Amino acid sequence: MDLAGKVAIVTGGAMGIGYAICEALAAQGASIVIADLKGGAAAADKLRAKGHKVAHVDADVSSEDDTQRMAIAALDAFGGIDVLVNNAAIYSSLSLKPFEQLTVADWRKMLDVNVIGQFLCCKAVLPTFKKQSSGRIISISSGVAFKGNPGMLHYVASKGAIVSMTRTLATELGEHGIQVNSVAPGFTLSDGVHNNPELASTVSGFSVRGRALKRDMLPADVVGAVTFFAGPHSAFITGQTLVVDGGAYYH
């Protein structure tokens, strides 16, 4: 129970990788705040049925008001914030297309959620983290940031931005005792991906062939890295991105 007494906010925590992260952090003793556009209440009920301490808040991470309300909800429910997992992102709804077919609207929507959303969530928890001179920010990037996968330029760029933000925030916030790290999963068969047959059929086989470990990646494969960065065994690690993809990219 390395996280006993800690409070963790997980954005996009109602399903897929986000829900798996909530389960893993709760199993380590953390109280969980699920922040998601929808499904948060049902996800929270599932975790409570297993005996975990959980709250939820309906939140759009691209809204500054919503992210501020998210932080307040965590403080109201559990009296503190110790861990922020920036997981919410646009991915599973993607349609693969050449970069010249992308529109400015496509770019703005992607950056609003995947990049500005993570910025706003970090900003929302910062006063609490500074006041207590501690805190863990764990942002979910992607292996595509290192491989440059085609057909999703705006998504790849957004995840590359997370790697750079992780480094800068770690440098800027280290004096306050705040650690900032990133986890970069490979292609993961999450709930959302299963609901997008084009994405699943196009990317899955290609991804497995490119891995040293020849199998599909599941949400449960991501959670070990996240719980490590959230817990006491990473107390002197910051500014790092850990690629978790079965050996498709050696970082």
Q: Which residues are catalytic?
A: 155
Find the DSSP H helices in 28-79.
40-48, 64-78
Closest to 103 measured CA to CA, from 115, 111, 92: 111
Query: What's the gap between Cα 121 and its chain centre?
Result: 11
In degrees to the nearest 10, what's the CA dihedral of 119, 77, 33, 64? -30
Q: Which helix (H) or strand (E) holds 10?
A: strand 7-11
Radius of gyration of the chain (CA): 17
CA distance 179 to 67: 20
CA distance 50 to 43: 11
Q: Helices 40-48 and 16-27 sit at what angle, rounded to 10 degrees? A: 30
Q: Phi/psi at 82 (nearest 5 deg)?
A: -115, -30
CA distance 169 to 238: 9
Half-sphere exposure of 118 (CA within 13 A, CB side): 28
Closest to 32 measured CA to CA, from 20, 44, 50: 44
- Cα first-last separation, the chain: 30
